[in-house]
Amino acid sequence: MPDLGAYAVEVISAYAVSLALLAALVIFSVWRGKRVKRALEDAEARLRNG
């Protein structure tokens, strides 16, 4: 760990907040992407069989 001096809380919380937001964005995008992809595959299968 580098010595952050008096502002350790500020710097670390800025990094934590930002990385958490970015992670949330990526996770949400992938989650929705997977769900839509599966739903579309189901629908296309129905279309072929039905």
Partner 1 sequence: MASVWEFANPRKFMAVSDRALPWLFTLAGAALAIGLVWGFFFTPDDFRQGSTVKIIYLHVPSAMMAINAWIMMLLASLIWIVRRHHVSALAAKAAAPIGVTFTVIALATGAIWGQPMWGTWWAWDPRLTSFLILFLFYLGYMALWQAIEDPDTAADLTSVLCLVGSVFAVISRYALIFWNQGLHQGATLSLDKEENIADVFYFPLLVCIAGFVLLFIALVFYRTRTEIRARRLYAIGLKERMV
Residue 25 sits at the vertex; the CA angle it makes with 23 and 30, to the nearest 5 degrees, is 95
Instruction: Please pick, from the candidates 21, 27, 48, 49, the single residue that binds partner 1 as defined by CB under 8 A.
Output: 21
Decide: is 27 part of the binding site for partner 1 (CB under 8 A): no
Give the amino acid at 29.
Answer: S
Q: CA 50, CA 45: separation in Å to the nearest integer?
A: 8
Contact flags string 28-47 toward partner 1, x per CB under 8 A:
xxx-xx--xx-xx--xx-xx
Contact 11, 4 (CB under 8 A): yes
Binding site for partner 1 (CB under 8 A): 2-8, 10-11, 13-15, 17-18, 21-22, 24-26, 28-30, 32-33, 36-37, 39-40, 43-44, 46-47
